[in-house]
């Protein structure tokens, strides 16, 4: 059977992989998008809060407050849960995460990723217009609510700091919260309404719309197992498909939480881990309407008005990527969410579980593989895969095609880990 050929194989059809494929295609490359599913956006890109976080200029770092660390260690923080049996496996990574979260290192990381964060909505808007799906995004921002004066005060300080870097928003008191969200119940110390970010009403659907755009423009989408990736004596990369081997001069690893299954056998030992998360869609009762995504910060869950229903999302679970689901955080959040908003019956048969791919400094790996000049990395986007997929795709495509990168790619090179 004849070998199928292309310029570039992009392994992974989540938001990150599709973003890279589109930008490479735009620069004249013959690109094949490879995924184990028949459709794009079926894994991590499907389950998230739907936020294009152009205001999140500071990454999600390990807490430095002793009380918060103690609550987390005792498994009493609603925002984080861990499986005690898995602690030996991920404790060394947590130590690296803690060290990378030192204030000076965290600030350096924030400054490095800021050009990408601040350009993220611009890149999405361009692709949404080209894909013809403006109905999938609102530009109303999201609301981060606080029940205690202490957590509100810290948030206001953080917001004032973020304003120095161009972040916009409003400080809300309890009355203003209920004015913007009249169907919420309960009393709050206050909130921050981040007014800039976009909100996607169907994240998996947006990835599919971008993949459809890629195919309309001549791109190929092939079902294959990325773990079959091989390099031949001539330096070409190939994967096995039902129609034979598919080969290309270059390959991009954009497999999110499964990226190590390809990079590991090739000799790359990266400090890679996952943060698992869950969501559940529920109907609204009566004529109740939720206008924005709202984060009940102190109780550790978010409600977002998706096309499928109100999506209840949890915080972080530290567990093995492939361990059976343990949706304890969903069970704990459900009564709190029912008290906050008039929720009806679940739309989903069971909670969805996904995994966020993380490196300890909460920066993605973007760039050339050190020992394989024709292999490229585009993974590790932690909580910001939806946000950063198109913009890191642009950065990667500029590097691969010899353009001058719009942002400094050096902080995202895997050589930073030695």
At which of 357, 377, 392 does a domain end? 357
The verdict on residue 105 lying in a domain is no
Tell whether 74 and 140 lie within a shared domain: yes
Tell whether 68 and 34 lie within a shared domain: no
**What are the structure tokens assigned to 50, written together?**
């739907």
**Model confidence pLDDT, tens digit, residues 292-328:** 999 999 999 999 999 999 999 999 999 999 999 999 9
**Model confidence pLDDT, tens digit, residues 28-73:** 999 999 999 999 999 999 999 999 999 888 888 888 888 888 888 8
Tell whether 164 and 260 lie within a shared domain: no
Tell me how far apart the alpha carbons of residues 315 and 276 are, in angstroms, rounded to a whole number.
8
Tell whether 302 and 185 lie within a shared domain: yes
Contact predicate 398/406, CB 8 Å: yes
pLDDT confidence of residue 205:
98
The verdict on residue 379 lying in a domain is yes
Tell whether 211 and 226 lie within a shared domain: yes
pTM of the model: 0.96
Contact predicate 291/377, CB 8 Å: no
Mean pLDDT calculated for residue range 387-412: 98
Tell whether 93 and 170 lie within a shared domain: yes
Tell whether 191 and 323 lie within a shared domain: yes
Range of the domain at 193: 64-100+136-198+274-357
The verdict on residue 246 lying in a domain is yes
The verdict on residue 233 lying in a domain is yes
Tell whether 303 and 315 lie within a shared domain: yes
Tell whether 18 and 79 lie within a shared domain: no
The verdict on residue 264 lying in a domain is yes
Q: Is the pLDDT of residue 219 over 50?
A: yes
Residue 123, classed as helix, strand or coil, is helix
Tell whether 70 and 143 lie within a shared domain: yes
Alpha helices (H) in 182-230, listed in sequence order = 203-216
Q: Is the pLDDT of residue 147 over 90?
A: yes
Domains contained in the chain, number:
2
Tell whether 293 and 211 lie within a shared domain: no
Which CATH number covers residue 380? 3.50.50.60
Average pLDDT, the chain: 95
The dihedrals phi and psi of 373, each to the nearest 5 degrees, come to -60, -25
Q: Which of 289, 254, 280, 270 is nearest to 183 (CA)?
A: 289
The verdict on residue 56 lying in a domain is no
The verdict on residue 110 lying in a domain is no
The contacts found for 380-383 with CB under 8 angstroms, 24 or more apart, are 380/259, 380/272, 381/16, 381/256, 381/356, 381/357, 382/59, 382/60, 382/275, 382/356, 382/357, 382/358, 383/48, 383/53, 383/60, 383/275, 383/356
Tell whether 377 and 239 lie within a shared domain: yes
At which of 357, 375, 408 does a domain end? 357
The verdict on residue 342 lying in a domain is yes
Tell me how far apart the alpha carbons of residues 244 and 147 are, in angstroms, rounded to a whole number.
58
At which of 335, 357, 379 does a domain end? 357
Sign of CA dihedral 96, 98, 99, 102: positive
* CB neighbour burial string for 90-128, b if at least 16 within 10 angstroms, e if fewer: beebbebbeebbeeeebeebbebbeebbbbbbebbbebb
Which CATH number covers residue 339? 3.30.9.10
Residue 129, classed as helix, strand or coil, is helix
Burial class, 177, CB count within 10 angstroms (exposed 0-12 / middle 13-18 / buried 19+): buried
Residue 362, classed as helix, strand or coil, is coil
**Model confidence pLDDT, tens digit, residues 242-274:** 889 999 999 999 999 999 999 999 999 999 999
Sign of CA dihedral 385, 391, 396, 400: positive
């Amino acid at each position: 059977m004849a070998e199928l050929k292309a310029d570039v194989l992009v392994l992974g059809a989540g938001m990150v992989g599709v973003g890279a494929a589109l930008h490479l295609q735009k620069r004249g490359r013959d690109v094949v998008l490879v995924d184990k599913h028949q459709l794009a956006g079926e894994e991590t890109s499907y389950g998230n809060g739907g936020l294009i976080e152009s205001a999140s200029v500071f990454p999600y770092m390990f807490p430095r407050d002793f009380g918060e660390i103690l609550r987390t260690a005792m498994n009493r923080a609603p925002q984080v849960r861990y499986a005690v049996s898995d602690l030996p496996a991920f404790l060394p990574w947590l130590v690296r995460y803690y060290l990378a979260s030192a204030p000076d290192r965290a600030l350096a990381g924030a400054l490095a990723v800021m050009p990408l964060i601040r350009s993220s909505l611009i890149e999405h808007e361009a692709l949404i217009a080209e894909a013809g799906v403006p109905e999938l995004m609102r530009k109303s921002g999201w609301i981060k609510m606080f029940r205690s004066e202490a957590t509100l005060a810290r948030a206001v300080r953080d917001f004032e700091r973020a304003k120095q870097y161009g972040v916009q928003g409003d400080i809300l008191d309890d009355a203003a919260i209920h004015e913007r969200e009249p169907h919420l119940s309960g009393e709050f110390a206050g909130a921050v309404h981040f007014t800039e970010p976009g909100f996607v009403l169907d994240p998996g659907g947006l990835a599919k719309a971008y993949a459809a755009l890629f195919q309309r423009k001549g791109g190929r989408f092939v079902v294959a197992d990325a773990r079959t990736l091989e390099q031949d004596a001539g330096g070409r990369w190939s994967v096995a498909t039902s129609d034979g081997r598919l080969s290309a001069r270059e390959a991009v690893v954009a497999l999110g939480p499964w990226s190590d299954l390809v990079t590991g056998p090739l000799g790359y030992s990266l400090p890679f881990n996952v943060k698992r998360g869950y969501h559940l869609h529920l109907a609204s009762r009566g004529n109740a309407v939720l206008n924005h995504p709202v984060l009940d910060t102190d109780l550790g869950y978010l409600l977002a008005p998706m096309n499928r229903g109100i999506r209840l999302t949890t915080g972080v679970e530290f567990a093995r990527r492939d361990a059976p689901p343990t949706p304890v955080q969903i069970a704990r959040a459900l009564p709190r969410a029912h008290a906050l908003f008039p929720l009806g019956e679940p739309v989903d048969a069971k909670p969805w579980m996904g995994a966020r791919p993380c490196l300890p400094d909460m920066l993605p790996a973007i760039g050339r593989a050190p020992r394989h000049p024709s292999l490229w990395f585009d993974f590790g986007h932690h909580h910001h895969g939806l946000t950063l997929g198109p913009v890191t795709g642009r950065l990667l495509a500029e590097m691969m095609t010899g353009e001058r990168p719009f942002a400094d790619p050096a902080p995202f090179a895997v050589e930073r880990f030695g």
